[in-house]
Structure 1
Amino acid sequence: MRRQSPLTVGLIYMAIGVLFTVFAVQHVSQSGWGFFAYFLVLLATLDFGSGIRMLMLHFKIKSIQNKKK
Structure 2
Amino acid sequence: MGGSEALYVALYGKAPIDNQNQTFRNLVNRGSLKAEFLALCVDKLDWHDVTLGELFALSKEDKGNGE
TM-score, normalised relative to structure 2:
0.23
Instruction: Say which structure, 1 or 2, has more relative contact order (CA 8 Å, 6+ apart).
Output: 1
Q: Which has the higher helix share?
A: 1
- Structure ID, larger Rg: 1
